Amino acid sequence: MQRSLISAAILSLTALATVAAPSANAAKATKTTPPQAAGTQESSATTQLPRNVRPSHYALSLTPDAQASTFSARVVIAIEVLEPTAAVTLHARDLAFAGASIAAGPGQPVQAATGITLDTALQTATLSFAQPLAKGRYQLAIDYSGKIGSQAAGLFALNYDSPSGKKRALYTQFEAADARRMLPSWDEPAFRATFALEATVPADQMAVSNMPVASSKELEGGRKLVRFATSPSMSTYLLFFGLGDFERATVMEGGTELGVITVRGRLPQARFVLDSSAAVLREYNSYFGQPYPLPKLDNLAAPGRSQFFGAMENWGAIMSFEAAMLLDPAISTEADKQSAFGIAAHETAHQWFGDLVTMRWWDDLWLNEGFATWMAGRTTQRLHPEWEKHLGKVAGRNSAIERDALATTHPVVQRVQTVEQATAAFDEITYSKGSAVITMLENYVGEDAWRDGVRSYIKANAYGSAVTDQLWMHIERAAKKPVSAIAHDFTLQPGVPQIQVSDYACKGGKTSVTLTQGEYSKDHPDRRPLSWRVPVLAKTVGAKDASRVLVSGGRATLALPGCGPVLVNAGQAGYYRTLYAPKAYAALANDFGKLATIDQLGLMADSWALGMAGRQPMSDALSLSLATPVDAAPQVWGRIARMFNEVRYLSRGDKERSARFAAFASARLSPVLARTGWEARAGEPAPVAILREELIDSLGALGDKTVIAEARRRYAASLAGDQAALPAALRRTLLGVVARNADAATWDQLHAAAKAEQSSMVKAELYGLLGQASDPALAQRALELAIGGEPDATVAPGIISSVAEERNEMAFDFAMANLARVNALVDADSRAAFFPRLASGSLNPAMVDKLKAWADANLAAAARSHTSTAVSRMQYRSVVLRERMPEVDAWLARQPL
């Protein structure tokens, strides 16, 4: 490819280095620390790059050509050579180098590189020089060019429809290791540096980066040169650049300009996130005790959606796909509104945990993601208590536990050695277990002590990098409790404690019970349990206060005030499964209606999981659904609906079982839907609106004839012009029922609607619906559509995944038969997760060998964690089908229909 010339407006090496020198404040804030391994060891490095050179500042001049999908660039990097060397190695991927040179500073002799050696496997470029470089400071200049991709990795383009025709916008996505696709750099989190970015762009478009625009100069040919203010010291993966026909709205919060940016015409849909961000920022400024340090914080909505990520916390320029941020009054639901708030809260939390203080290496990724997940949940509950989102922590913890109970799990603080392993680290353990462990530890030390420790940690490590033990040190100092030992048990070793509760006895107004610590495992039940120090809260049913005990050494005895059934993990703050002795469980289940909603959810989650693992009868959890009154909390009925859907899914291969269970589940859920109603009532609680969606979706999946008929009636009425027939609150859910039960004519109608739709968010949603068709022929048409070039490249993989939700073999076999075309739709770094995801829900044991064969042919050993997890899940599911589902059959046979 011919390299386009950089604009004459770009300054020379010496001038650019002078203009783009770090500001006084930025330089003062800089703390550059060599990479070191995470956790408790700091002596051994886990890094791809040599340590003999480190950067302190990047001055980047970028000229993108969106239509040609290419860019040209020049970067001047201020570096420090720590020991004499004749070569400098840095990261680069898919870049073409035109030349490189180095000088000791302005006016000093310039030495051109004598060679540039690329290592595609390590994703590095090594610049060789004839004269060895002595220790000292230098300015390294590189001229290069690269490609603008179609997937969210590096600098990429998104196409979308607008009233004036097809348009294209540019964005960057650099986490975990994709900054090297746009910028030759030390692309590791501990190599923090300041960034001065300038871009030559079309004059009629808006350019966005981490910092505000410092200047803009009109150029010839309808272009302009935009310079951004120099950033504080930060990691490469947080650098951001966006370009397009954008609109921006702002508000001030304290000294920060908050903004939302959308493609033209969609700005009103971002108003909720803008208003919410102001409230969230105010809360975080108070909680962290250190105000947000940048002058502005934008939230950008990128057209469409991606199934690989929803949002990215670039410092000062959070990028989200539209589906994660915008609220379209025609289609958005209460669940969408709450999700948009939660995502904004999560990404804003990263501005401190991740951006201001960055994990030193990917081993400690949980410091970013686990903390942001916890902080978002806490903040959502604090600012919107009416949503009752604190109840969601049971589901989040349950997701982590089910992943953590497989032999293929890993510790929260994990060893990461390669880019592939870093990419695979973004999973339930990092996010949900990390959050659950924080919940437990905060509950153990107290909210005030936890906050004080967090503030101290942030202050001590601002503009620098940290490891997990530094957080524990500050928490322990603030709490004056031995937190580190407990934290190490839950973060440095994998797995899930199981607290076994003995039958209880009451004497003298006190109930005594013995707790024994084991291990909850799904696929290695006979191994010797690991040991944890487990903080436990327990009480008798009806008691006001709970008693606290630390189960250490595997055993503890409690004497609880009052007489009655014992509830362990009261309030559900603990990260463990609770297994009751049969009589103790029966007594607790008999008092199910007396439990707080969060404890009802916890008991149901534990009962179902332990039943699936063969540690207590499957009938226990199913029987709780019979004991639940129609007017129980919406979240409890939502949990029951999800449990029923899991049984439905497991019953797919047995028509008799499937029909019998569907009849039972429909009979149980239909009265709840009748009470909830199809239409929203004025002033109804938000959880009721969400339950309505869940019930209609679940009953539709169960084949409930009444629900399917009503969904079809409303769809037909909407086609006839009755827009009220598909209210925004139910539109997606009702169309999902219609799509699942579509005939060819209906499928064609949905397809035509997807093609004609101008909203990229709605378009992606409609295309995804096409893959939900139960008719195998229509599912096959959806698969062929996905690789046919009609849907955008970021939408097409979602169609294949949609088919895989119910037809794993069909989707996976199709992908294998069309591997080159599917690979073209999925970024190379995402394939290690995409293909196992297609297979992982399969009920067919033969899928294990198919997936392994694909992995053997396509993945390095370091990239197989998603494959291993999918295999473990399929093998466990085979055990459940063989050994647990007969229990479900026997229980169903005893139920009147």
Q: Which residues are catalytic?
A: 347
CA 752 from centre of chain? 32
Short-list 234, 236, 195, CA closest to 214: 195
**Maximum C-alpha span of the chain:** 91
Distances, alpha carbon 25 to alpha carbons 30, 111, 230, 290, 482, in Å: 9, 31, 10, 16, 38
Are the beta carbons of 520 and 405 closer than 8 angstroms? yes
Contacts of 700 (CB under 8 A, 6+ apart): 707, 708, 711, 733, 736, 737, 740, 741
Which tokens in the block code for residue 72? 């040209």
Residues linked to residue 85 through DSSP beta bridges, in sequence order: 133
- Residue-level length of the chain: 897
Q: Residue 481: how many CA atoms within 13 Å on its side-chain side?
A: 16
Query: Quick check: helix, strand or coil at residue 641?
Result: helix
Q: How far apart are CA 234 and CA 231, in angstroms?
A: 8
What is the rounded distance in angstroms from the CA atom of residue 868 to the CA atom of residue 873? 9
CB 307 within 8 A of CB 771: no
Q: How far is CA 397 from CA 128, 349, 496, 529, 642, in A?
A: 51, 20, 11, 20, 15
- The DSSP element (H or E) to which 693 belongs, if any, is helix 686-701
Q: Kindly compute the dihedral angle of the four CA atoms of residues 423, 428, 430, 432, in this order, to the nearest 10 degrees.
A: 150
Q: 475 is written with which tokens?
A: 């928490």
3-state secondary structure of 794: coil
For residues 377 and 103, what is the distance between their CA atoms, to the nearest angstrom? 50
Rounded Cα–Cα distance for residues 4 and 1 (Å)? 9
Distances (CA, A) of 193 to 31, 79, 234, 363, 820: 8, 10, 5, 21, 39
Residue in this structure with the two tokens 């180095």, named with its chain if needed: 102
In the block, tokens 């090496």 appear at 13
Coil, helix or strand at residue 312:
strand
Q: Which residues contact 108 (CB under 8 A, 6 or more apart)?
A: none
DSSP state letter for 37: -
